[in-house]
Structure 1
């Protein structure tokens, strides 16, 4: 299994200690979460260079609240300690693969420089 159950205690260490982290906020009672779970698991097997975390919102309500999670499943992408994407809703495998490719290709310094230039 290439996904990792993550809780409040280790969340900060996980997102700061890994280059690219995908976080699936989910719940056992959530039908779309159960449908998305195998898609997320398959993606984690195909991309061993990405850390795939799963956060059960019922066991980590403080973490879900701090992350602004209002619906599940919610996918968060953290690159170099910075949240670069967050969206609620289950994804198809092709959409998740596309997000993974975009996240890997994202040049955070260039994106920040562009954002600074626009302000």
Structure 2
């Protein structure tokens, strides 16, 4: 499956309406981003049940700022609308494959329980 481009207008909908979404924040001038692109694309072919998306940080500066992107490439993984992975830097093919498998294997009830425990208590 090919990757899709996300914009500020489509990002939330895509993340919320799909079980697993991997997002690559990149820019055309970024050498490491260009080097990572074939790895990300190849992984999308292996996992048709995962949405692979890219955000051009130059074209979508507001979205990149909202996502707190400080370095590119940055890969984020969302599962059931929750951010479960966020890391800057190039992932080698085997690390990306491991990430996808770990995200698929997550016990989301446990993830939500831990997130609730870490959330500040409201008075």
Give the TM-score of the pair, scaled to structure 1. Answer: 0.94
Paired residues in the alignment total 119
- Structure 1 segments (4+ residues) deviating >6 Å: none
Judging by fraction of residues, say which structure has more helix: 1
**Corresponding residue for residue 36 of structure 1:** 36
Q: Which residue of 1 aligns with 2:85?
A: 85
Structure-2 separation of matches of 1:39 and 1:111: 28
What SS does structure 1 have at the residue aligned with 2:58? coil
Offset of residue 112 of structure 1: 2.6
Q: Tell me which moved more, 20-29 or 6-15.
A: 6-15
Partner of 1:58: 58
- For residue 100 of structure 1, what is the aligned residue in structure 2? 100
Structure 1 residue ranges without an equivalent (≥5): none
Inter-partner Cα distance in structure 1 for 2:41 and 2:23:
12
Task: Specify the alignment match of 1:7 in structure 2.
Answer: 7
- Structure 2's unaligned 5+ residue stretches are none
Q: Distance in 1 between matches of 2:47 and 2:95?
A: 15
Give the Å deviation of 1:113.
2.2
Q: Distance in 2 between matches of 1:78 and 1:94?
A: 19
> Separation in 2 of the partners of 1:61 and 1:76?
16
How far is 1:6 from its partner? Answer: 1.1
